[in-house]
Each structure stands twice: as structure tokens, then as C-alpha cells.
Amino acid sequence: MHTRRSGILLHLTSLPSPFGIGDLGPGARRFADFLGAAAQSIWQVLPLSPTSEACGNSPYCSYSAFAGNPLFISPELLVEEGYLVKVDTMDCPQFPAGRVDFEKVAGYKHRLLKRAFGRYWARLGGDCDFREFCKENAYWLDDYALFVSLKERFGGLSWCDWPAPYRNREETALRESREQLKERSEMEKFFQFLFFKQWFGLKRYCNGRKIQIVGDIPIYVSYDSSDVWANPGNFKLDAERNPLFVAGVPPDYFSETGQLWGNPVYDWEALGRAGYSWWLLRIEHNLRLFDMTRLDHFRGFVAYWEVAASEKTAIRGEWVNVPVRDFFDTLLKRFPHLPVIAEDLGVITPDVRQVMTAYGFPGMKLLHFAFGEDLPINPYAPHNHEPNCVVYTGTHDNNTTRGWFENDLDDRGKELLAEYLGRSPAKDSVHRDLLRLAMMSVADTAITPMQDVLGLGEDARMNMPSVAFGNWGWRVKPEQLTPAVEEELAAMSRLFGRA
């Protein structure tokens, strides 16, 4: 993790593909080739979990912390692997090129995947690879497949609204539902088998070209998930398995009422008594998927903001300490090499910094946050970076650099940026200025969103955190990944010792 290098942040949804959404097929491999030609050795993605239209298709809101999103399964690879025939993909509707229409994509992809399952169902029992996959992943896959099947049976209701025997996982109800929903559960397991088969194929392709993949672990899980349904003892729930407390952040400069996320909070005492077994499984799973991973909301591993579930805002909450040293010591006993990036953005207290220093976890430095009146001592300013960190122009939650310059940065900020650069930046080239600052930094790793590599405006923004719907849809077009872009990025990487 201490090699000087650079890379690009681009989620799978944003890849080019003829099927309405980026996937694990030829478009992903072409992007890996683009990275190699541009002398980049890092590809950072967002969480790969299944998404829901009810959550605005956010990858940070999922029915499972372990499952993969079936929408990423490549129809082209299914044809190559014999699960479909070419004619199956010829009824593909016309999708928009630059954005994901999630509803339309989900309808098409699910029809296609069910067709693949229908053709392969009779052979599943004799497929050794499928059976081995189910056996190795049974610790999460069995519950997840049954959860999805029951959710469908009960009309999409949250598990807390299911009939009590199913909500409370009574043994008789579980046994009967496993038998009655066996085929539906097998179909869901088949989808997961296809996803992970294609994912590990892509990872091997990238690693073979000396490209490492950085993943993302959201600290919290959704209440309406197989994780909470199957492991209620890991969370602070009442006798009816409703949340006693939910997660968020307190009021600050950005919000007078704070942020109420609504995720159930962990019962860290119960997790500790169990040796953090659920977290050990989760970390192990992600270390198989990725070469490195980002720990989202890292400060929540030190102390988290806990709000009573009855509250309407995050104002009336309190900080609750986590047994952070015991937790990370336990992780390091199992995983002596723990390649994580600590997402330490926002208001970070000294105790969080002490933990990061003690374990040597690199933090994140965002250039968008550097140009205020405190510029000389601002930790995000390049002259204050340290080697053990990851510098970004911005992340998926930020505006694009061009959009930031045009719409978010005030006049004083523009003056300070001009002073720092030694000249006045222009809106059509400011992305290159910040990319150059990131590459020049002493930070071991520099990662740039694809939108900033291309100099795109605010309409290419990936996510607006305060807006629940309409996010996560931007896609790069094939014609934007040009040899000129490759050459410019490669030249800059070589110049600053990151190639």
C-alpha cells in the first residue's frame, strides 16, 4: 500500500454497455485495458451489493452486505458461457447511452436472467462449480436467498411486516418455506453464482495487468436486509425486532438538524462476546473480492452517533464509544495484512486520528475541501499531505471538479485557488489543474473520478447526498475513452512517478 501510484474511481454502473447499465463483460475489460494504457494501477468501485428503487438505487442501501448485484451480470458472457444463446439477447430494448434507466434495466435483466435459469435449472444439481459455490457461501447465501424469496411471497413488504413466524425466524416456518420456495431460492443462488463467477473473472483480468481493485464497505447495513433479519442479535433491537436506536451524525455547519440515516446501530457488546464473528466474515468476504477496500464512515468504528428510533431528526442523540482497539486487534489476528483506506472525511476528532495512526490506516484528502481561508494549515491542501494517505480531487458524493468550480466554489475560494496555482484557472481546464495537484502530492496514492479525468460538468455528478432519488445514473460513453485521454493521463503519471 506504500507504492506510489494512481488510479480512477468509476463504478460498474457507469461503464459502457449495450444493455443499459455497466456490467462485468467486455466493456469492463476494455476499461481495464484503458487503465493499463493510461499507466493507472488502481480501479476504485462503489459497493457491489444489490440495489433497490425504494432506496433510489443507492449502492449504500442494500438487502445484503454480502450479495452481488445481478444487474451487473453480463449477457454477453452468459452467451459465451452457454447459459444463453445469442438470440436471447437480440430483443434488447433501446437504452439511453449516457444514463442508467434503472427501472427499465431491471425489468430487462431479470427477464434475461430468469431465462438463463430456466434453461439451466435441470442441470444445476450436477454442476459441481455451482454446488461448491453454494457450500462455500452458505453462511450468508442460504439466508439471503430465502430472504429474497420470502420478500417476493409477501409482496415486497419489509421483513418486520411479515407474519410473525417468518419475521421471528421460527424453525417450523423456516423449514416449510425452504421446501416451498426451494426453486425460487435456487434461482437466487444461481444469480449470485453467475455474478461472482463473472466478478472473479474480471478481477483476474485486472490483476493480470497489474491493476488492483479498491472496493467499499459501508459501515452500516439496511434494516430491511437479510443481515438484520438473520442476525438480529448483532443490532440494538427491541423484543419485536424493531430498532431501538438508529445511526446518523449530529448537527454541524452543514445541517442544523444533523443527518438521520435510519440504519440500525450495532450492539458492539454482543458482537464482542461473539468474537466479532459477523464482521470477520464480512471483512474476509471483501478481501476476496478486492485488493484493498475503503471503510466508509470510519469514525463510526471509534464512536458513533446514536439516536432513539422515535426521533424525527438527529438533534437528540449521543456519542457511544466502540471497543475499537479490541475490534481491530481481533481483525489483525485473522488478517495480519489489512489493506484498508479509512474514510475520514467530515469532522474528525483526535481519538479517531489516534486510532488511524496506531494501525497505520491511510486516510483521504479531497482537494475540493482545501481552498478556504485556512488554506495554509488546511489538511486537504497538497502541501500538508503525508505519504500514507489517498488524495482525490473529489469522490462520488462531490460535484465534478468543473461543476464545483462553476457552481460551488465562492469568489474567495477561486482567488485562493488562483494564488495556489500561480494563475487564474479556467472552467474548461480546472479539472487538469486539480488532477495535476493530486498527481504532484506526496500521497502514495492518487485517485481521480472518471468525470474529472474527462473534465465533465455538474450534469455528470454521481450523487447528491441530500437528494434521495435521481442519483447513481451517470455513464461514460465509449467514444470518451480516447487514446488522447490515455496519453495525457499516462504522461502525467510518469512525470510524477506514479506509472
397 is catalytic: yes
HEC string of the chain?
CCCCEEEEECCHHHCCCCCCCCCCCHHHHHHHHHHHHCCCCEEECCCCCCCCHHHCCCCCCCCCCCCCCHHHCCHHHHHHCCCCCHHHHCCCCCCCCCECCHHHHHHHHHHHHHHHHHHHHHHHCCCHHHHHHHHHCHHHHHHHHHHHHHHHHCCCCCHHHCCHHHHCCCHHHHHHHHHHCHHHHHHHHHHHHHHHHHHHHHHHHHHHCCCEEEEEECCCCCCCCHHHHHCHHHECECCCCCECEEEEECCECCECCCEEEEEECECHHHHHHCCCHHHHHHHHHHHHHCCEEEECCHHHHCEEEEEECCCCCCCCEEEEECCHHHHHHHHHHHCCCCCEEECCCCCCCHHHHHHHHHHCCCEEEEHHHCCCCCHHHCCCCHHHCCCCEEEECCCCCCCCHHHHHHHHCCHHHHHHHHHHHCCCCCCCCHHHHHHHHHHHCCCCEEEEEHHHHHCCCHHHCCCCCCCCCCCCCECCCHHHCCHHHHHHHHHHHHHCCCC
Which of these is catalytic: 343, 433, 444, 486? Answer: 343
306 is catalytic: no
Which of these is catalytic: 188, 216, 296, 444? Answer: 296
452 is catalytic: no
Which of these is catalytic: 33, 81, 311, 397? Answer: 397
Active site residues per annotation: 296, 343, 397
